[in-house]
Amino acid sequence: MGRIEITVHDAAPPRKDWKQILPGLIVSAVSLGSVLWVADPQQVIAALRLADYRIVLLAFSLSLVWLLLRAVVWRVLLREQASFKNVFFTIAEGYLLNNLLPLRLGEVARSFLLSRKERLAFWQVFSSIVIERVLDLACAVGLLLVTLPFVVGADWAREAALGAGALVIAGLGVLYILARSREQALAVVTRLGQRWPWIERLAGKRLASLLVGLAVLTDGRRFLLATGWMFLDWAVAVLQYFVLLRAFFPEAAVLWAAFALGVAALGAAAPSSPGAIGVMELSLVGALAVFQIDQSRALAFALTIHFFSYLSSGIFGSLGLAQDGESLTGLYRQIRSLRTRVQDPEPG
């Protein structure tokens, strides 16, 4: 069993990484400052004390169900080429690293760790994560598509949600075309590589593995199965939000939970610090504000639901890292090195 090191101070990123990290840190700082400006810290503490912790415990148990279902989704996208145990602990490791490290390195870590455990190609695993993220975005937009017109009662809301949904569908369409036209895509890269060798070094076998992972899109039954599990996973997330809202707002409705989850999911996609600190809280408080509820209690809810994501990924991600004999510092160095090689190919 490896020892888990929680600090990463001895693995500082290179100067160029700070240029990428800084905008997210600024967004998080502004978001956190904004939400603290509108909420009363004493009332937030009071709301946390008065919450019904029997309901809070039930909500936390649903976060574990959510994580298990997310592992099922990912394993289906991987065409069952990895064991459920490895998929479950690897996804928890990835979420843990996303919560602690910058630049969403958890996604790269997931691909690296699972490809090593199961002897799969890195880019094949990474492509399954791309599909998972696109499905996530589709579900988030879908929630807004369904809930936004009821929340604001404006025609533009439905049109905006439909436009966002069309972009998601278009993205899936592009991935589908690539998956269906693997031979043609590889041939194009080969021809371009003959003229510009750096393209061959950048893509080459990586593109072949990536397209193998995208092949799940051409398997209608498997893709529908993954989509069905993803819908169920999101239904559990809505239920978790609803249950936890009831701990702070006994009058809470399912509409509150669905709308808040959709806004938070899209908000968390914005550049921010690791774990979307500040951004998630501002997204949730802002979403719940349209229902004319107390912002301090809304922040107490947001802090609790955010803490759940840290706790569940922390428990199972740490167990996964221990089983793999990895430390956060050592893994961070490996992932950063891998990311650098991917982004900075040698010039031709």
The average pLDDT across 59-71 equals: 95
Q: How far apart are CA 44 and CA 303, in angstroms?
A: 9
- The residue that leads in pLDDT, 147 or 14, is 147
135 burial via Cβ count (<10 Å: 0-12, 13-18, 19+): buried
- Cα 265 to its chain centre, rounded Å, is 8
Q: Give the count of alpha carbons within 13 A of 175, CB side only.
A: 25
Structure tokens at 42: 């004493």
pLDDT tens-digit profile of 137-148?
888 888 887 888
Selection from 87, 53, 125, 28 nearest residue 304 by Cα:
53
Its pTM stands at: 0.80
Side chain identity at residue 200, one-letter code: E
Query: For 47-75, b where at least 16 C-beta lie within 10 A, e where not — what string?
Result: bbeebeeebbebbbebbbebbebbbbbbb
Rank 1-5, 332-336, 344-348 by mean pLDDT and report only the highest: 332-336
Are the CB atoms for 318 and 311 separated by under 8 Å? no
Q: How far apart are CA 225 and CA 220, in angstroms?
A: 8
Q: How far apart are CA 83 and CA 114, in angstroms?
A: 10
Q: How far apart are CA 47 and CA 149, in angstroms?
A: 30
Are the CB atoms for 135 and 227 separated by under 8 Å? yes
pLDDT tens-digit profile of 243-279?
999 999 999 999 999 999 999 988 877 666 677 888 8
pLDDT tens-digit profile of 271-325?
666 778 888 999 999 999 999 999 999 999 999 999 999 999 999 999 999 998 8
Structure tokens at 181: 């036209």
pLDDT value at 2 more than 50: no
Residues ≥6 apart with Cβ < 8 Å to 209? 121, 122, 123, 124, 127
3-state secondary structure 188-241: HHHHHHHHCHHHHHHCHHHHHHHHHHHHHHHCHHHHHHHHHHHHHHHHHHHHHH
Residue 20's pLDDT band, with cuts at 50, 70 and 90, is low
Residue 239's pLDDT band, with cuts at 50, 70 and 90, is very high
Selection from 297, 281, 289 nearest residue 245 by Cα:
297
Q: How far apart are CA 155 and CA 136, in angstroms?
A: 25
Q: How far apart are CA 52 and CA 60, in angstroms?
A: 13
Are the CB atoms for 321 and 4 separated by under 8 Å? yes
Side chain identity at residue 112, one-letter code: F
Q: How far apart are CA 257 and CA 278, in angstroms?
A: 19
Residue 6's pLDDT band, with cuts at 50, 70 and 90, is very low
Low-confidence winner among 25-34, 94-103, 328-337 (lowest mean pLDDT):
328-337
Residue 208's pLDDT band, with cuts at 50, 70 and 90, is low
